[in-house]
A and B are shown apart, each in its own frame.
Chain A
């Protein structure tokens, strides 16, 4: 019976190809947007996890502003998204407090320097200029592939260690050592090129492949004597002391800020929580759009099925006359609606695979389409088919056989 219903449904769907295709379109779009959103989220999360693995679980991040709220046990309860967009920064004094807090091994400031780097006429407006200290490679666990990083003594020297993208963009070569980059009225000589950084887009972490690292004091000079420390990274002398060190940094900063906790200390895995929050917001937004499109698509299916039921009234009458029960008639039309939306769902998954490839080619995002996502979205399509196919199927099942037979 089921197999027969399916065959019949396919026949009827194929006999009105255009109509069926247009009806499916809504489901295709809805399912594709669901799959793409979820796969983007999962991709970003995986990239971030890779980065955390790389950086180690003992990295302490200090940021300005209160980004998260915590419960008494110290677990993040919520994330203050607007704080991410805030312009506040840490002061040099804050950095000193962190560096001198008991248990801190190394501490590295990351300060944004204003200015657009250029090499003759080639500009790179999307480059990030970071003023930092000699421990940056150590704390980022990143090797300088060509050349060398600057030393502690060179903090006023106008040299630059650059990410791979900067080398490509500004110099159009891999090892532009000895060449110079102009930032405002200053000229920095390229000293080294970093190995490729693992990037994790859409997270609070920056893509350092597009960064130019300069010594702290030199960077400060370019900016006219003031820089914005957007984060300080630190590590305890010993890994197992990380927790007490965080406590010490917290106490020191609270003291320096007159008791106000307008800063945030994050452990590496807590980045993930923030990313999740950002992503849940995005997912919710796109998910909402997808849900609306699925509802609209469902209504489209319902509409077409009502039309189909009316067109086939005589057929319904005949099927009843030869012994089809109400339930069998209902099944026939319900299955037709479900197949319509299931096929739409399959097309949607196909579209999302194509979109996945395009996204990977054209951006640094690496969406991941997993089996559960596919199954869930096809399940959603099925549910849409059942829900919106029910009313027309019930209408068909309830037709009076005589009236239906008389219909033309």
Chain B
């Protein structure tokens, strides 16, 4: 049974000569309990897609059914309520409110459901325990490491028991060990039955996903289901894709692709040594920049 069903969804920004087609008639069906990794070069429309799926944005054209209900044309108020009950967001930049402590940050979504403070804080404390940060309840966000901040953000995303978690590059600002922790956490959440949508530039992370969707220029050019723990073939073969622009290079996308190409065959054996691998990637990236 699909939780998400997109039919010919387009998203256009601007108008006239300045129109950007961020999504070009995308159709996508996601079943309950899937863990979908979305990949693709910068500007390919991943975030645009997530924003529409997360009801933060409306498609310019096309139909979107969430839980069998058509939501493309809902009013702002109703979309806010659906976000509140069904969707949890995890952002690349954490987006914790700097003036609230960790516990209050986690409890934030519940304030909009009219829950009493005692119940809110109790639930938030339970969530913090789940992400392993019980001892940080009264810390302020700026006192946390990036990995801790992201785990707090995940606790916040989980607190209203949403069926869908949308994580747009949640590990983009984290080092590899923190990334691993965050991903393990998401995998954990996935096991409890949540549908997870993950945007990532790191093919390695697709191991946690049950399906990889690859985007390019606003369209889906690849869609592959895989066993948990494997890097899907598609992710490995990314380097076949046309290398777009210098910007892509700068964003490191093509470098990552090359990494996959080089290390792809050996990876299954070396997977556990991911820190080392990351360092090497970093070195090759800087080398590449240096030669330019």
Find the residue from A4, A314, A323, A401 having the highest chain B CB count within 10 A. Answer: A323
Determine if B77 is an interface residue (Cβ-Cβ < 8 Å): yes
The docked-state distance in angstroms from the alpha carbon of A325 to that of B54 is 15
Task: Please tell me which one of the listed residues B57, B83, B99, B156 contacts residue A402 in the complex, with CB atoms under 8 A apart.
Answer: B57
Known: A4-B111, A322-B112, A323-B160. A405 touches B80 (CB 8 A): no
**Distance in Å: Cβ of A17 to nearest Cβ of chain B:** 14
Known: A11-B99, A318-B97. A324 touches B112 (CB 8 A): yes
Which residues, 79 to 103 on B, are CB-close (under 8 Å) to A? 80-81, 83-85, 89, 91, 95, 97, 99
Task: Please tell me which one of the listed residues A15, A314, A319 contacts residue B108 in the complex, with CB atoms under 8 A apart.
Answer: A319
Determine if A96 is an interface residue (Cβ-Cβ < 8 Å): no
A322 to B108, Cβ gap below 8 A? yes
Kindly list chain A residues whose C-beta atoms are within 8 Å of the C-beta of B83: 320-323
**Distance in Å: Cβ of B40 to nearest Cβ of chain A:** 19
Kindly list chain B residues whose C-beta atoms are within 8 Å of the C-beta of A405: 56, 91, 95
Which residues, 301 to 336 on A, are CB-close (under 8 Å) to B? 314-315, 317-328
Kindly list chain A residues whose C-beta atoms are within 8 Å of the C-beta of B114: 1
**Distance in Å: Cβ of B99 to nearest Cβ of chain A:** 6
**Distance in Å: Cβ of B111 to nearest Cβ of chain A:** 5
Determine if A12 is an interface residue (Cβ-Cβ < 8 Å): yes
Interface size class of chain A, counting residues whose CB lies under 8 Å from the partner chain: 20 to 34
Known: A4-B117, A314-B95, A321-B89. A327 touches B77 (CB 8 A): yes
A323 to B84, Cβ gap below 8 A? yes
**Distance in Å: Cβ of A322 to nearest Cβ of chain B:** 4
Task: Please tell me which one of the listed residues A1, A3, A326 contacts residue B77 in the complex, with CB atoms under 8 A apart.
Answer: A326
The docked-state distance in angstroms from the alpha carbon of A158 to that of B65 is 108
Kindly list chain A residues whose C-beta atoms are within 8 Å of the C-beta of B160: 322-323
Looking across the interface, which residue of chain B has its beta carbon closest to that of A327?
Answer: B77
Interface size class of chain B, counting residues whose CB lies under 8 Å from the partner chain: 20 to 34
The docked-state distance in angstroms from the alpha carbon of A401 to that of B89 is 12
Looking across the interface, which residue of chain A has its beta carbon closest to that of B89?
Answer: A321
The docked-state distance in angstroms from the alpha carbon of A405 to that of B93 is 10
**Distance in Å: Cβ of B222 to nearest Cβ of chain A:** 26
- Interface residues as binary, B67-83 with A (CB distance below 8 Å gives 1, 0 otherwise): 00000000011001101
Kindly list chain B residues whose C-beta atoms are within 8 Å of the C-beta of A319: 108, 112
Find the residue from A320, A321, A324, A325 having the highest chain B CB count within 10 A. Answer: A321
Determine if B109 is an interface residue (Cβ-Cβ < 8 Å): yes
Looking across the interface, which residue of chain A has its beta carbon closest to that of B91?
Answer: A405
Determine if B51 is an interface residue (Cβ-Cβ < 8 Å): yes
Kindly list chain B residues whose C-beta atoms are within 8 Å of the C-beta of A1: 111, 114
Looking across the interface, which residue of chain B has its beta carbon closest to that of A11?
Answer: B99
Known: A4-B111, A401-B56, A405-B91. A326 touches B76 (CB 8 A): yes
Kindly list chain A residues whose C-beta atoms are within 8 Å of the C-beta of B81: 323, 325
B56 to A322, Cβ gap below 8 A? no
- Interface residues as binary, B10-27 with A (CB distance below 8 Å gives 1, 0 otherwise): 000000000000000000
Which residues, 384 to 408 on A, are CB-close (under 8 Å) to B? 401-402, 405
Known: A11-B99, A318-B97. A323 touches B91 (CB 8 A): no
**Distance in Å: Cβ of A286 to nearest Cβ of chain B:** 40
Determine if B276 is an interface residue (Cβ-Cβ < 8 Å): no
Determine if B113 is an interface residue (Cβ-Cβ < 8 Å): yes
**Distance in Å: Cβ of B255 to nearest Cβ of chain A:** 26
Kindly list chain A residues whose C-beta atoms are within 8 Å of the C-beta of B113: 323
**Distance in Å: Cβ of B94 to nearest Cβ of chain A:** 10
**Distance in Å: Cβ of B101 to nearest Cβ of chain A:** 11
Looking across the interface, which residue of chain B has its beta carbon closest to that of A5?
Answer: B111
Kindly list chain A residues whose C-beta atoms are within 8 Å of the C-beta of B156: 322
Looking across the interface, which residue of chain A has its beta carbon closest to that of B78?
Answer: A325
A322 to B84, Cβ gap below 8 A? yes
**Distance in Å: Cβ of B254 to nearest Cβ of chain A:** 25
A318 to B95, Cβ gap below 8 A? yes
A325 to B95, Cβ gap below 8 A? no
Sample (16) of A-B pairs whose CB atoms are under 8 Å apart: A11-B99, A315-B97, A318-B95, A319-B112, A321-B95, A322-B109, A322-B112, A322-B160, A323-B112, A324-B112, A325-B112, A326-B76, A326-B80, A327-B77, A402-B56, A405-B95
Q: What are the 7 A-B residue pairs with the smallest beta carbon separation, nearest first?
A: A323-B84, A322-B109, A325-B80, A323-B112, A318-B95, A323-B83, A401-B56
